[in-house]
Amino acid sequence: NPLWDEFSFYELTEVMRQREDLEFVRILNNIAIGQVSDNDVRVLNTRSVNATHVPREAIRLFNTNAAVDRYNRETLDSHAGSEYRYTAKDFVVGNATDFQRRRVLNSVKSMEHKDTNGLWNEIRLKVGIKYMLTSNVDVGDGLCNGGTGILERIVFKPGTTEPLRLFLKFDKPDVGKKKRQEQENYMLREGISRELTPIDRVSCVLNYSNKLEFQVVREQFPVTCAEAITIHKSQGQT
């Protein structure tokens, strides 16, 4: 194609991402050409740790969703403190018979979260556990899909144990800054730390069917347990 003649060629010869760790760059280059030395192996092995030495704030990475789900489930089971569950509120909007409503609302309970804009049918909540945002709440405020933080407080509906609002301490202090400012008076009145960001329930239309005369709307907290995530998900965060 003659269009390629309009391009100039520049060969990149320096690793930029790890440029401040020259030894690591050298090891990566050796791995790339298949000439790993005994010293390279020794250096890499110094970063091999067992479960007892992993920092509490670290997120575990697994290569399958099944392994992630298992680790998160076991962590929630073993973590001290009270557990609260919140089941999504699904409702039908449009022209639907009572039979259609019952059938559809029962069907969407088992939908994959990828088809529900990241809103799970049920979430388990425990203070002190890491959670991840599963949808874009406010991209300009940093509250976007993949953001992680620790659940520090749950506000309940008066007189019940139904979660009404979640408060997360995000890993990055700028995340949720605007949201915290908007709720500053409320948080001050309730004695809630200004480091915590309020997360409310959101609503979305589920991708159920475009052939019907009605839609299914789900209301849920846009979070999921993130003590572990997939390697694929972690790469998307960088």
Structure tokens at 143: 């509250």
Q: What is the pLDDT of residue 95?
A: 84
Element (H, E) at 232: helix 231-236
Q: What is the pLDDT of residue 210?
A: 66
Q: What is the pLDDT of residue 16?
A: 75
Q: What is the pLDDT of residue 206?
A: 85
3-state secondary structure (DSSP) of residue 74: helix
Q: What is the pLDDT of residue 237?
A: 65
Distance CA 132, CA 228 (A): 10
- Number of helices (H), then strands (E), belonging to the chain: the values are 7, 12
Q: What is the mean pLDDT of the chain?
A: 90
- In terms of Cβ atoms closer than 10 Å to its own Cβ (0-12, 13-18, 19+), residue 167 is buried
Low-confidence ranges of the chain (pLDDT < 50): none
- Residue 2: count of CB within 10 angstroms of its CB: 5
Distance CA 119, CA 206 (A): 9
3-state secondary structure (DSSP) of residue 131: strand
β-strand pairing of 214-220 with 122-125: unpaired
Cβ atoms of residues 129 and 150 within 8 Å: yes
Q: What is the pLDDT of residue 66?
A: 94
Question: Residues 6 or more apart from 209 whose CB is under 8 A from it?
Answer: none
pTM for the predicted model, two decimal places: 0.80
Query: What are the phi and psi torsion angles at 183 (to 5°)?
Result: -105, 15
Q: What is the pLDDT of residue 153?
A: 97
Alpha helices, DSSP H only, in 49-144? Answer: 65-78, 98-107
- Residue 170: count of CB within 10 angstroms of its CB: 21
Query: What are the phi and psi torsion angles at 211 (to 5°)?
Result: -100, 0
Instruction: Give tens-digit pLDDT for 22-51.
Output: 888 899 889 999 999 999 999 999 888 777
Q: What is the pLDDT of residue 57?
A: 78
Distance CA 41, CA 158 (A): 58
Instruction: Give tens-digit pLDDT for 86-99.
Output: 999 999 988 888 89
Residue among 65, 69, 60, 49 nearest 227 (CA): 60
Query: What are the phi and psi torsion angles at 131 (to 5°)?
Result: -130, 155
Which sequence spans correspond to the domains of the chain? 2-48, 60-236
